[in-house]
């Protein structure tokens, strides 16, 4: 029989996850989409989550498992690696296999026959709306699926951290002044080509969060130097002329986005730029993705008031916007980013914390205040 679960969080959200995938698949079928994944039933969801959770707490030769499981039959996996014998879906088996499949983009294939879940092999290709469970650290599980449009990051459905469950609230896209970056992460119909500027910003955010040192990225208008009023002089690492490695790639024809060498070059430029955010101070780029400076210290612009309130929200169920002092969101890095946006209303600030939190700061014309969206739930 299917693995008997003991992880309570898996049992609590299994039916809800099934209904979400059922709605996505139904809508995709009605719109004529093809290459759709099978529907994960609540029992399948619960069993996969349970086995994966307990595996995440184990270690193999001193290392915690970093794995990705995908629910699909081998025939939908493109060019799969198939084991001669079916392997049982158990925490012990997942822990043993983990060292060989921890690289990004590799999924362990899971399927069900005669009411029994089993591991059939590995794949780097999965169909649309395929149920995926990722583990990047002990007790942290992310439920996600591949988008239909473009090459962008998978869309997250829920994040489970121990007994804490965060269900992504896709209705956040209907909020007034919803930032384009948040809209792209939540909206399944938003195209996500590799060279879309918003998608590149998402890739920068993921890379910033990945280095684990925390950092601030300020996106300022390229045609204006007003942002300099909010930067303490001298700037330690001013870039002259501005570095345009990433900018040049984004100006190429969109058809080139399907080419592996182009995607590799873009990833390299993204990691180069995001890596600079680990240096103490803020990294500053133009809205055309030209690097202007890094290691910059933010200061309150002359004649501007200290910021004393922001609108803070998280795109999860129960994460509705509340008005708080910016210090409630994070430390000095967050406070300075909020002040920067308060003083320079045509900018965007991205802040990664060492604890993994990630926040977008922008100015809301409707609310007439800085708004902060915590999006780490969507970046995992």
In order along its 380 residues, the chain shows pLDDT tens digits of 445 668 889 999 999 999 999 998 998 888 888 888 999 999 999 999 999 999 999 988 888 889 999 999 999 998 999 999 999 999 999 999 999 988 888 999 999 998 899 999 999 999 989 999 999 889 999 999 876 654 456 788 889 998 888 888 877 666 667 777 777 777 655 544 444 666 788 889 989 998 989 999 999 998 888 999 999 999 989 998 999 988 888 887 655 455 667 778 888 999 999 999 999 999 999 999 999 999 999 999 998 999 999 999 888 877 787 889 988 888 899 999 999 999 999 999 999 998 888 999 999 988 899 999 988 888 87
Taking Cα atoms as reference points, which of 279, 289, 299, 298 lies closest to residue 237?
A: 279
- Rounded to a whole number of angstroms, the distance between the first and last alpha carbons of the chain is 32
**Per-residue confidence (pLDDT) for residue 162, from 0 to 100:** 86
Between β-strands 369-374 and 310-313, what pairing exists: parallel, antiparallel or unpaired? parallel
Identify which of 49, 122, 50, 121 has the alpha carbon closest to the alpha carbon of residue 86: 121
Point out which residues pair with 63 in neighbouring strands. Answer: 60
User: Look-up: residue for tokens 């609590």?
Assistant: 12
Nearest alpha carbon to residue 181 among 147, 150, 206: 206
Please report, for residues 86, 118, 122, 198, the alpha-carbon distance to residue 81 in angstroms, rounded to integers and kept in the order given: 12, 15, 5, 34
Q: How far is CA 69 from the centre of its chain?
A: 17
Go through the domains of the chain in sequence order and give each one's CATH number.
8-167 (no CATH), 197-379 (3.40.1700.10)
DSSP 8-class letter at 78: S
pTM attached to this predicted model = 0.78
For the residues of 39-89, what is the DSSP string, one character each?
PPPHHHHHHHHHHHHHHHT--BTTB---EEEEE--GGGSSS-EEEEEEEE-
């Amino acid at each position: 029989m299917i693995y008997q679960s003991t992880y309570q969080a898996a049992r609590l959200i299994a039916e809800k996850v099934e209904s979400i995938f059922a709605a996505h698949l139904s809508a995709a079928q009605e719109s004529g989409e093809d290459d759709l994944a099978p529907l994960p039933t609540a029992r399948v969801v619960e069993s996969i989550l349970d086995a994966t959770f307990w595996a995440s707490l184990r270690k193999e030769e001193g290392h915690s498992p970093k794995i990705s499981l995908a629910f699909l039959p081998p025939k939908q996996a493109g060019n799969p690696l198939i084991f001669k014998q079916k392997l049982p879906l158990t925490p012990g088996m997942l822990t043993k296999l983990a060292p060989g499949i921890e690289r990004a983009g590799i999924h362990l294939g899971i399927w069900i026959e005669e009411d029994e879940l089993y591991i059939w092999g590995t794949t780097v290709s999965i169909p649309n709306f395929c149920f995926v469970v990722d583990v990047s650290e002990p007790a942290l599980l992310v439920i996600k699926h591949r988008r239909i449009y473009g090459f962008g990051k998978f869309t997250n459905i829920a994040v489970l951290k121990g007994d804490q469950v965060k269900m992504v609230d896709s209705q956040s896209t209907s909020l007034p002044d919803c930032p384009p970056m948040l809209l792209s992460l939540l909206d399944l119909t938003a195209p996500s080509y590799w060279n879309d500027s918003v998608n590149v910003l998402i890739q920068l955010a993921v890379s910033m969060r990945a280095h684990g040192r925390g950092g601030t990225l300020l996106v300022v208008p390229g045609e204006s130097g007003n942002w300099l009023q909010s930067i303490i002089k001298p700037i330690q690492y001013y870039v002259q002329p501005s570095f345009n490695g990433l900018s040049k790639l984004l100006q190429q024809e969109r058809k080139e986005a399907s080419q592996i060498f182009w995607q590799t070059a873009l990833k390299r430029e993204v990691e180069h730029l995001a890596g600079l955010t680990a240096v103490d101070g803020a990294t500053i780029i133009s809205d055309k993705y030209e690097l202007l400076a890094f290691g910059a210290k933010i200061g309150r612009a002359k004649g501007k008031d200290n910021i004393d309130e922001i609108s803070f929200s998280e795109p999860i169920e129960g994460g509705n916007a509340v008005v708080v002092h910016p210090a409630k969101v994070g430390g000095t890095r967050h406070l300075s980013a909020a002040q920067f946006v308060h003083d320079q209303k045509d900018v965007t600030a991205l802040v990664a914390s060492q604890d993994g939190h990630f926040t977008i700061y922008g100015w809301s014309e409707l609310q007439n205040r800085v708004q902060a969206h915590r999006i780490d739930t969507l970046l995992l």
